[in-house]
Structure 1
Amino acid sequence: MPVDPAHVNPLHCGRVSEACPVEASIYGYYPILGWNAFFAALFAVCFVANLALGLRYRTCTYMLAMSLACLAGCIGYIGRCLMHNNPYNITGFQIQICCLTLSPALNSAAIYLILKHLVLQFGREWSRIRPKYYTWAFITADFCALVLQAAGGAIAATAGDDDSFRDVGDHLMIAGISWQVLTLLIFAVATLDYLVRRYRAAQPLSPVAQSLLHNSRFRTFIIALIVVYLAIFARCVYRIAEMAGGWRNPIMQDQPLFIGTDSCMVGLATILQTFVHPGHFFPALAMYRKTTPTPVSFDTESSLEKTMG
């Protein structure tokens, strides 16, 4: 007689068997090896590229955020690869639940670094707060989301048979992801507020800002940044829905939905953040120095490269 998966405790199963069908595992499916290996390799390539580009353009903070995001993504998908032959593999589950929950928060941190430099380029006088506070405020909020998700992931992955303890982990993860969504929304509002105030200002753009605004590289960078933001936001909303239904809910056990809404969204964001790199597409960020926070044009970039070359 077939076993009802709803009556099987996946924590009591070590491998797929007649008593422990795959449907009774937490995800209810065999993670597809090809897809997970592809994303592990993708994040590994982006990790190496971010290190190389960060060192090339000296964008240390951006490099740190993106490198950690890529490393966490790569390790997370290696964890899912470990679950391909055995969906009950507890080591693979613990690795992927922690790393894949954390990595998009680091992608978000890289996004938050950009707003300060946009304000510096287009006029800080139209910003409601000092430009440096954008970075501090949003990175701090993102760090709080990171801590909540890390704590929740660690608790959920190590709770064992303690359902109440695992529920605490679930709630912390949902709180962390929800906080991340709220931070993303506030970031969008702050960005739109500055853009509206600058647009309505009577004072024209400086020659450097006009040059930047009409430059094709900068426009490509802004379009990529918008796509990255929307991809990360979509992924976070999906994760809230996935976790809100509890373990083994239909959303959590829908592998194509996970691949399309989580893997592809974060993968797309990471590719754009890596290869539409601010060092080349937005030189103001790459050339910023605390001692000389002045607008930087693409002409300035070319002159400095010739001088350094």
Structure 2
Amino acid sequence: MSSSNSTTCVYFDYTTNQNVTVPCNNLVGSPNLLSGQVEYSNYGYILNHGATYAFIAIYSLICVAHIFLGVFWKLWWTLPTLALGTLVEVIGWAGRVMSINTLYWEINYGGLWMYDFNAFVQQICCLVIAPTFYSAANYVLLGLLLDVTDPLYSSLDTRSIKVIFITSDVLCLLVQAGGGAWAGTSSGPNGGNSGAYMMSGGVILQLVVTIIFIGFFSEWLYRWRKDRPVQRQYKPFPGKKARAQAKASRAAMRQAEDHHHLAAVGSSSGMALDKDLPAIGRAPSYVPTSFSSQPAPESRIQLMAGMITFSTVLIVVRQVSVPSTSVCKPPSLTFNRSIYRSIELLRGWTGPVAVNEPLFLGMDATMMAILSLSYAIIHPGLLFGRRLF
């Protein structure tokens, strides 16, 4: 709350909980009368107009591409993951465009450049939560890769992997969104920073989930390359089909046990028994599923595995040269970006990382643009899709 006349301005200082009277700064763009430096609200800098308009155009085009590819390949799960994630990026950058159009000089507070706070919260919330949709795409994609190779290449069954990681992804999304709502509805800087800390907690939680996912993905990659299925698979969230298969397997084993019991009795009495009954302990073997009449090309499987790697695994040395016959492992974008966002939000809205626009453009905007574009080029439909026309 503030008021002003021709010479003095009064505003409420949330740090001291007192009204402060200072001269009005009517000189647009001049140093702040309190700090002696040019001050900017929210962002801590003047937004780069060219970069802002360029990125919203890039993300808009990629979003249209993801919608088209999802429909073209009839791969509907990519719409609420890849397409929606890119759309959230567009909404976030629309908030930055809105900020550009609402910039004005505020004579209160010693004089500062002021942006619309709602637009600021819109962009920070959307740009922070957008990668969770790409993480969900990775989880689904790993499950599909298990289906076309062999589900026994993982210690967890396909359904459990999807349930555990997608549920965790939704939880991370809710925590980050809750932090954004807290920051957006707070009446002072303390509440805003508390919202930032909550959002940071969601980002860190997502980072932990990503690390665990990397473990399961690495296990599948190793077992697939070495053709070493697990001896025992855990199914904490079995579906109806899995429960039916388990029931049939137990019934077959009981039948086999009865058969061998009768065989032991019959051998002494000379009874003839059916020799076609299954042996004890033999469970129905897995028959790999396929999305077409032809087996999945190994090169396409490698391509999808490389895409998951590209978006999740942090590679310390960025310029690693990988032979074309192996799975590609370039620097991780989501992982790198999560570290950047965690550090940024932990230091609040006014921390040195949060007010560094070149760092934001490099570590967030550019990386997410490359990631979303890569998923449009190396689309899951290349392996799992069925062309619409």
Q: 2:311 aligns with which of 206, 228, 247?
A: 228
Corresponding position of 2:340: 238
Shift of 1:145: 0.4
Shift of 1:109: 1.1
Shift of 1:147: 0.2
Distance 1:245 1:172, change over 3 A: same
- List aligned pairs for 1:173-192, cutoff 5 A: 173-192=199-218
**Amino acid in the other structure paired with 1:76:** G
Corresponding position of 1:102: 129
**Amino acid in the other structure paired with 2:148:** Q
- SS at structure 2 position matched to 1:83: helix
Alignment of 1:38 onto 2:63: no
Moved over 6 A (4+): none
Does structure 2 retain, via aligned residues, the 8 Å contact 1:97–1:157? no
Shift of 1:187: 0.7
Q: Hey, what's the Cα distance between the residues in 2 that align with 1:47 and 1:22?
A: 37
Alignment gaps of 5+ in structure 1: 1-6, 288-304
Corresponding position of 2:252: none
Q: 2:353 aligns with which of 244, 251, 262?
A: 251
Distance 1:114 1:148, change over 3 A: same
Q: Hey, what's the Cα distance between the residues in 2 that align with 1:47 and 1:247?
A: 28
Q: 2:184 aligns with which of 151, 154, 157?
A: 157
- SS at structure 1 position matched to 2:46: coil
- List aligned pairs for 1:119-198, cutoff 5 A: 119-161=146-188, 163=190, 165-198=191-224
Shift of 1:200: 4.3
Instruction: Count matched residues.
Output: 275
Structure 1 or 2: more strand by fraction = 2
Q: When the two structures are superposed, what TM-score results if normalisation uses the length of structure 1?
A: 0.79
Shift of 1:223: 2.7
- Tell me how large the CA RMSD over aligned residues is: 3.1
Shift of 1:157: 2.0
Percent identical residues: 28
**Amino acid in the other structure paired with 2:363:** T
Q: Hey, what's the Cα distance between the residues in 1 that align with 2:309 and 2:90?
A: 24
Does structure 1 retain, via aligned residues, the 8 Å contact 2:81–2:137? yes
Choose 1 or 2 for highest CA Rg. Answer: 2
Corresponding position of 2:75: 59
Distance 1:224 1:22, change over 3 A: farther
Q: When the two structures are superposed, what TM-score results if normalisation uses the length of structure 2?
A: 0.64
Indicate the larger mover: 269-278 or 231-240.
269-278
- SS at structure 1 position matched to 2:39: helix
Corresponding position of 1:300: none
Does structure 2 retain, via aligned residues, the 8 Å contact 1:177–1:240? yes
Distance 1:199 1:49, change over 3 A: closer
Distance 1:202 1:162, change over 3 A: closer
Shift of 1:218: 4.1
Q: Hey, what's the Cα distance between the residues in 2 that align with 1:22 and 1:37?
A: 25
Does structure 2 retain, via aligned residues, the 8 Å contact 1:149–1:177? yes
Shift of 1:137: 1.1
Distance 1:70 1:177, change over 3 A: same
Corresponding position of 2:376: 274
Structure 1 or 2: more helix by fraction = 1
Distance 1:134 1:246, change over 3 A: same
